[in-house]
């Protein structure tokens, strides 16, 4: 049954200012928290606010997600279906695709995708359409917080003008802030509630209200002076990782040629107790943030008439890693007098990182496309992704995860490790495989059959 929270929430006094009414609702936890985008960021955020005692209303334009949640079914590994069912039983959560209900929420947290266009420019379509939907129904006393990763000035120059089409005034009638998501899927040590939250408001009162809201649900809130500082903070965090991963990826190519194991080099270097942080190479970057954020920054620099050569070079290095992996595969197959064309290649892992069910921007899709273009017979195995779905930039074949039986493994010309899931028995895989191409150092502890293993 649909609950209209506008009708069930006690109206503020006609003489009470919007900021005062909202502050009281947040303080007393009677504020309804609306989360727009029920994916890998939105659902954990709902969990954090429900756990803090707030009622929540989840919005998504994907009716399948809404239907699944309404049926008490989670589609994200680290949010269990029983958890969703408890939210509903406790009347703390409802999912809807009806964007006219945005007016019911006192606080609206925007967690929609911010992908790149085909020309690698920021695509703010989802942010803009969400902001427009809010502005059409916005009422005095609402707080809007953008959490989607984006470039500095997005909140002030994109979101704010759209919200102002409502004829309401920011800082007086409604309140706007930016607080970047910091999700780390698959990391059991850090839930949404346990990761410090940076918050920057468009006005002083907006900052204060957003800080007060998050203080209820998040372990620590770090207020900054503006949305631009918060936006730039997120870009810095992810560009830092992208640049350092590019460094070890480039060193991997060099050290491979010299017969030096890059993983052993990094493990040795990280014994230094200061001045070094370990980053590891791989088949390419994955996830929503790290492969994308540096390109936001280079796009923004071009608008300012500048070039970010260091960051662009890192992007080039990371982007070419799938090509490098395929070239190494070609070399190793050639040693066995086999071409890629017609060879049976099984990709181990389609998720972008270990032990998650998140395929966003996974380099495995680039590997699959490159192998198919070269005529390989490609299969995959991933216990977390039983069937491949559509991906924004790839023509994904209709495949289901293959069971790793001894017979199946032996029938492949190569088992290509793209993601080192704990569920994979790498000893079993190496034992029965003709050849294993390891891009993650997943076979480091396998002792038998090492002559079959190649690294890339």
In the structure encoding, which two tokens stand for residue 322, read together? 């799938």
For the chain, the residue count is 456
Least Cα distance to 319 among 342, 298, 343 occurs for 298
* Residue 235 within a domain: no
> Do 319 and 356 fall within a single domain?
yes
* Residue 326 within a domain: yes
> Do 57 and 109 fall within a single domain?
yes
Residue after which a domain boundary falls, among 194, 225, 256 = 225
> Do 186 and 266 fall within a single domain?
no
Residue after which a domain boundary falls, among 225, 257, 292 = 225
> Do 72 and 118 fall within a single domain?
yes
Q: Is the per-residue pLDDT at 332 higher than 70?
A: yes
pLDDT for the residue 288 = 63
Residue pLDDT, tens place only, 444-454: 999 999 999 99
Under a CB-based contact definition with an 8 Å cutoff, are residues 381 and 402 in contact?
Answer: yes
Count Cβ neighbours within 10 Å for each residue of 234-272 and write b for 16 or more, e otherwise: bbebbbebbbebbebbbebbebbeeeeebbeebeeeeee
> Do 72 and 196 fall within a single domain?
yes
Domains: count for the chain: 2
pLDDT for the residue 187 = 72
Backbone angles phi, psi at 102, to 5 degrees: -60, -25
The contacts of residue 405 (CB under 8 Å, 6+ apart) are: none
> Do 304 and 444 fall within a single domain?
yes
> Do 44 and 145 fall within a single domain?
yes
Beta strand residue intervals within 49-114, DSSP E? 55-59, 93-96, 107-110
Cα separations (Å) of 218 from 47, 185, 189, 198, 259? 11, 17, 14, 10, 47
Please report which confidence band the pLDDT of residue 352 belongs to, taking 50, 70 and 90 as the band edges. very high
Separation of alpha carbons 56 and 46, rounded Å? 7
pLDDT for the residue 394 = 78
* Residue 375 within a domain: yes
* Residue 234 within a domain: no
Residue pLDDT, tens place only, 45-61: 999 999 999 999 999 99
Residue pLDDT, tens place only, 118-176: 777 889 999 999 999 999 999 999 999 999 999 999 999 999 999 999 999 999 999 99
Q: Is the per-residue pLDDT at 190 higher than 80?
A: no
Residue after which a domain boundary falls, among 172, 190, 225 = 225
For the residues 318-330, what does the mean pLDDT come to?
96
Residue pLDDT, tens place only, 377-421: 999 999 999 999 877 677 888 899 999 999 999 999 999 999 999
> Do 254 and 169 fall within a single domain?
no
Under a CB-based contact definition with an 8 Å cutoff, are residues 448 and 427 in contact?
Answer: yes
In the structure encoding, which two tokens stand for residue 454, read together? 């190649």
> Do 252 and 171 fall within a single domain?
no
> Do 206 and 330 fall within a single domain?
no
Q: Is the per-residue pLDDT at 301 higher than 90?
A: no
> Do 155 and 41 fall within a single domain?
yes
* Residue 119 within a domain: yes
* Residue 231 within a domain: no
Give the structural domain span for 135. Answer: 5-225
Please report which confidence band the pLDDT of residue 14 belongs to, taking 50, 70 and 90 as the band edges. very low
* Residue 230 within a domain: no
Residues marked as catalytic: 289
Give the domain CATH number at 247: 3.40.50.720
> Do 147 and 288 fall within a single domain?
no
* Residue 275 within a domain: yes
Under a CB-based contact definition with an 8 Å cutoff, are residues 123 and 114 in contact?
Answer: yes
pLDDT for the residue 389 = 81
Separation of alpha carbons 453 and 415, rounded Å? 10
């Amino acid at each position: 049954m649909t609950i209209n929270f506008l009708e069930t929430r006690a109206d503020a006094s006609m003489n009470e200012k919007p900021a005062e009414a909202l502050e009281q609702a947040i303080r007393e936890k009677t504020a309804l928290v609306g989360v727009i985008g029920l994916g890998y960021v939105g659902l954990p955020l709902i969990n954090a606010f429900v756990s803090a005692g707030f009622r929540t209303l989840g919005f998504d334009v994907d009716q399948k997600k809404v239907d699944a949640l309404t049926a008490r079914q989670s589609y994200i590994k680290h949010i269990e279906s029983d958890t969703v069912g408890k939210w509903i039983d406790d009347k703390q959560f409802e999912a809807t695709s009806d964007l006219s209900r945005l007016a019911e929420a006192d606080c609206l947290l925007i967690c929609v995708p911010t992908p790149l266009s085909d020309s690698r420019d920021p695509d703010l379509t989802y942010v803009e359409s969400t902001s427009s939907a809010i502005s059409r129904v916005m009422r005095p006393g609402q707080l809007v917080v953008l959490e989607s990763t984006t470039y500095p000035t997005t909140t002030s120059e994109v979101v704010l003008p759209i919200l102002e089409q409502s004829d309401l005034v920011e800082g007086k009638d409604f309140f706007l802030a930016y607080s970047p998501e910091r999700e780390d899927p698959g990391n059991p040590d850090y839930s949404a509630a346990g990761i410090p939250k940076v918050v920057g408001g468009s006005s002083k009162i907006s900052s204060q209200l957003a800080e007060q809201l998050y203080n209820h649900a998040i372990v620590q809130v770090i207020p900054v002076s503006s949305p631009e500082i918060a936006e730039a903070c997120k870009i810095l965090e992810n560009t830092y990782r992208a640049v350092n991963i590019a460094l070890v990826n480039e060193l991997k190519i060099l050290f491979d040629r010299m017969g030096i194991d890059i993983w052993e080099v990094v493990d040795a270097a990280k014994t230094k107790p200061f001045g070094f942080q370990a980053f590891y190479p791989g088949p390419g970057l994955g996830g929503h943030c790290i492969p994308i954020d540096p390109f936001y920054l280079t796009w923004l620099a071009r608008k300012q008439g500048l070039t970010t050569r260091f960051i662009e070079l890192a992007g080039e290095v990371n982007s070419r890693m799938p090509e490098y992996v395929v070239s190494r595969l070609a070399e190793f197959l050639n040693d066995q007098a086999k071409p890629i064309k017609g060879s049976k290649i099984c990709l181990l892992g389609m998720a972008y990182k270990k032990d998650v069910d998140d395929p966003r921007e996974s380099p495995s899709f680039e590997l699959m496309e490159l192998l198919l273009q070269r005529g390989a017979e490609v299969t995959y195995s991933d216990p977390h992704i039983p069937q491949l779905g559509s991906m924004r930039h790839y023509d994904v074949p209709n495949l289901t995860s293959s069971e790793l039986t001894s017979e199946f493994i032996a029938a492949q010309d190569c088992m290509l490790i793209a993601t080192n899931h704990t569920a994979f028995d790498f000893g079993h895989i190496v034992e029965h495989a003709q050849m294993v191409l390891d891009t993650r150092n997943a076979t480091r502890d396998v002792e038998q059959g090492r002559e079959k293993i190649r690294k890339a």
